[in-house]
Homo-oligomer: A and B are copies of this chain.
Amino acid sequence: MSRGVSLVYPIPRIMSTEIPLARHLSIVLRHHYATMNDQLRPLGLLVAQVPILLRLSAGQNLTQESLARHFHFDKGAVARAARGLEEAGFVRREVDPGDRRAVRLFLTSAGEALVPEIRRINREWEIRVTEGLDPEEQAAFRSLLGRVASTCLDGRCCRD
């Protein structure tokens, strides 16, 4: 595979028309869960909690609802992740005084202290699984995947 993106793509060893696209997606995603959780568990975390934790490190005092919207997560998923983070002592949850329906999240000092390590672990996984691609291919993969994901989100209204 020469430098840059070629119009001719080699067929990877496990790639065939009989292995569905979704299966490949699942293989990668499951690898993510397993690999990440192996490293996160000793820290008292699970992978579902990582996006919330990292998002809060970039700016606190966010409602669960805004996090759900940001990551395109189901509200229930965010609630559970936030609860887990609270129970582990990494996040403080406070009812919004101006809107008693809303819960606002803040990192504790224990949570803050964890952020560099979680960032490293997170980044490390992405580097590892894309290490077989050159930089342009990596960018291409990210972009194409993002566009497919975008179509899925747009397609939600067409599912009925």
Say whether B131 contacts A141, CB under 8 Å: no
The dominant DSSP class at the A interface is helix
Say whether B143 contacts A27, CB under 8 Å: no
Q: How many copies does the complex hold?
A: 2
Partner of A159, one of B10, B15, B35: B35
A14-B72, A38-B159, A126-B21 known; A27+B153 contact, CB < 8 A: yes
Say whether B32 contacts A146, CB under 8 Å: no
Say whether A14 contacts B133, CB under 8 Å: no
| 7 further A-B pairs in the complex, CB-CB below 8 A; given A20-B126, A22-B125, A24-B146 | A15-B150, A18-B55, A19-B71, A20-B122, A26-B29, A129-B152, A132-B147
